[in-house]
A and B are shown apart, each in its own frame.
Chain A
Amino acid sequence: MSKKDLSKSVLDKIKKDHIKPKSKWEFLLKDYVFWGLFGICIVIGGMVASMMIFKVHIHDWELHKPLGESFFNFHLRGMPYFWLLLLTGFIFVADYNFKHTKKGYKYSLPLVVLATILASIILGFALFGMGVAKSMDEKALQNLPFYKEMTLDKKIDYWSQIEKGLIGGEITNINDDKVEIKSFKGDIWEVNTDMVPKDMLDKLEEGMIIGGFGKKGEKGVFDAEKIKPWKGNFINMKEKDVLLRTI
């Protein structure tokens, strides 16, 4: 077929099949959809990053000592791997969407992944500062039983090992040298606070959920060395919608 014949056959087909150029907005829309999905991935990545920051923030860094475990073994086990995995997933979905934007192919995978991680972390810190992660954790604890089992319940179990020198519960009464605690198991404990630094005691109030380090004394008494307000959310075990006072 000569060039002339080819041109004619192309033009004939265009006329015969009424072929028209697709409008610009179709292509723009496709591009915007991928940009939008990329943006959504960054926002979700930021929320996931804020949860990771929150989890690290409320982590009990001294808990390995009374449990007799090494620092690395214990705390490596307690890192927020689920959120890390989720963040990794969203980073790669973000990269997929970015690569499908009109000029996204020009940027290498490491560059896009690094930029996405940075954006997620910056947004994560901002959302954490705004209290979004704490609210998300509250909602998850109230509505997702498996989430509560894997996080709060596990933490409560750690703080219920009185034989190992860990006590946790709600302050029911407080006076100069004693604090009365209703433990997570429902027992009442008299906590001797002679050894506890004053600045720690000053932070305590009735109704507050706390965690204490020390030794189990005679019946019903716990000799505390440190008492700290509970880090993170805590939900009343009987009334799941009641959030008790924590920091």
Chain B
Amino acid sequence: MKMSSDDAEDILQEVFIKTYENLNDFDQDLKFSSWIYRITYNHTISYYRKNKAKMQTLSLEDNEIFLEKLRSEFNLTENVDKKMLKEKVQKFLQKLDKKYRDVLILKYLEDKDYTEISNILRKPMGTVATLLNRAKDKFREILKNNHFKYE
């Protein structure tokens, strides 16, 4: 989703405060980054639910690396310029169920491994692996339905 920088700052500030409040709940077995990501993820979702009307769709602006990772993972061979590719991928991701979009973003945009994704989403590792495989299949299906070239 796309939000104004004011929204992002509000969320960031609240996340830091929440993190401070819940410091004693931190599990030493987790990476601190996974834990704070979980707080951010949950807080952002609840913020989105409250402010659905003013939020925009997912944006891939400034996410060149994410785009490149998707291009390489799905062997995207469509001969279009970067801007158009961005727009198309953005549109395709938007078509995915939230549960599939979340794992794709955590894996390819945030570069998280399975354990971290499991800790962030509070789902078993096996479920994360299944979700990721299904997300890839669904994404390929969308590419195919839109006559998008990939190998």
Contacts and interface: CB of A to CB of B under 8 A. Distances in A.
A21 B23 contact: yes
Interface in A87-125: 102-103, 105-108
A1 to B, nearest CB: 5
Contact of B12 (A6, A22, A108): A6
Nearest to B115: A106
Contact of B124 (A1, A26, A105): A105
Nearest to B5: A1
Contacts of A14: 17, 20
Contacts of B118: 105-106
Nearest to A25: B24
A27 B16 CA distance: 19
A14 B25 CA distance: 18
Contacts of A108: 124, 126-127
A13 interface: yes
Contacts of B22: 21-22, 27
A216 B118 CA distance: 70
B interface SS class: helix
A10 interface: yes
Q: Which of A9, A23, A106, A107 has the most CB of B within 10 A?
A: A106
Interface in A10-28: 10, 13-14, 19-24, 26-27
Interface residues on B, range: 20 to 34
A157 to B, nearest CB: 50
Contacts of A24: 24
A22 B21 CA distance: 6
Interface in B21-44: 21-25, 27, 29
Nearest to B126: A108
A24 B125 CA distance: 27
Contacts of A107: 124
A106 B25 contact: no
A23 B24 CA distance: 6
A106 B12 contact: no
Nearest to A26: B24
Nearest to A5: B9
Interface in A106-150: 106-108
Contacts of A9: 13
B126 A19 contact: no
Given A22-B24, A27-B24, A27-B25, A10 B17 contact: yes
B108 to A, nearest CB: 23
B13 A102 contact: no
Contacts of A106: 118, 124-125
Contacts of B12: 6
A230 to B, nearest CB: 49
10 contacts: A10-B20, A14-B20, A19-B17, A21-B24, A22-B22, A23-B24, A102-B27, A103-B27, A105-B118, A105-B124
Interface of B: 5, 9, 12-13, 16-17, 20-25, 27, 29, 118, 122-127
Given A19-B20, A19-B21, 5 more contacts: A10-B13, A13-B13, A22-B21, A105-B122, A106-B118
